[in-house]
Amino acid sequence: MASNNDYMPWGEAPQWDWSEEGITDQHGLHRFMDRYSHSHRMQRPKIYDNILTAIGDSPLVKLHKIPERFGVECNVYVKPELFNSGGSIKDRVALKMIETAEAQRRLKPGMTIIEPTSGNTGIGLALVAAVKGYKCIIVMPDNMSKEKADLMHALGVKIVRTPAVPYADPDSHVNLAFRMQKQIPGSIVLNQYLNCANPLTHYEGTGNEILDALNENVDMIVAGVGTGGTITGVAKKCKNVNPNCIIVGADPIGKPDEKNYHLEVEGIHPKDGMPVVLDTSFIDEWIKVSDKDVFTTARQMIQEEGILCGGSSGCAIWAAMQAAKKNARIAWLSCLTALGTI
């Protein structure tokens, strides 16, 4: 078996080199794509060649009732990633990881994609694999929602469940995925936990979209932290343009210094420590959020703003409201939301 640091979400940070051209990892240079730059804005066509074209370029939506409820006076915008084909921000990561592996010739027709995930990345991979014709096996803990598994089944993937144990446990979904990869010829684990395509897709796409929509007037970004790819990529892009932009990580109570604390919110609470994809140097503030506040806020978003969202979004919104109240100079605040189960 490979050592933990070969594929685990903790340990030494991956050796990536960011430059003006792109990001370089052990597989070579991944050049930034012009279609995501301000001068080459990706415009949605009237007719899509396939459903993958609907991934990315989600709108910003201004909140009205939620800021009023919390006594927040600044402009608050959310980026509802439910507009992506599979309904979450992880569609971006799934598509980017697959396209990157194809470009590197590590993923070829007829191969099988195996991925350990808490759910949404699995949905994204299942969707992309269906369109591109790959077989797909998703390995996920048994405490993740049945609805996510049902959706992946509908997309034609094989679901393998594991006990909800720490990553280092031999029975964890991460360890099992890599054991399966050794046993199944022609298979690959893209490994969102250590894949540079994870933060890269948010640097190229998500962050650029926020800056473009707000004419670069962004004072604060708030996001939940799971693998760390979203907040790292968005933060790096936004701070390149506005170094004074405040980056806030929404942190569910119970991670990682409170490992025995039970959490209901799915997908943004690694149990074993800070994920190595996460670059904490970009994060200016952490805000702890309880399960109660997570799900209360998510339901308020649905009932008062009409935005269908789940626990990870409720976590980001609640943290955003607290951060905005503490920072009086904030005028333009953006937080990320995704479709999820309540």
| Catalytic residue positions, numbered | 90
Q: What is the DSSP letter of 300?
A: H
Instruction: Output b/e per residue, 11-42; b: 16+ Cβ within 10 A.
Output: beeeebebeeebbbbeeeebebbeebeeeeeb
Cβ(326)–Cβ(284) under 8 Å? no
| Residue 30 φ then ψ, to 5° | -110, 105
Cβ(275)–Cβ(249) under 8 Å? no
Tokens for 154?
Answer: 């509908």
| Residue 224 φ then ψ, to 5° | -75, 160
Task: Tell me how far apart the alpha carbons of residues 71 and 114 are, in angstroms, rounded to a whole number.
Answer: 46
Task: Tell me how far apart the alpha carbons of residues 334 and 68 are, in angstroms, rounded to a whole number.
Answer: 16
Residues 188, 193, 196, 202, CA torsion sign: positive
- CB within 8 Å of 121: residues ≥ 6 apart: 90, 93, 94, 115, 192
Tokens for 117?
Answer: 């995930």
Task: Tell me how far apart the alpha carbons of residues 223 and 246 are, in angstroms, rounded to a whole number.
Answer: 11
- CB within 8 Å of 156: residues ≥ 6 apart: 126, 129, 130, 136
What residues are paired with 139 via a beta bridge? Answer: 116, 160
What residues are paired with 258 via a beta bridge? Answer: none
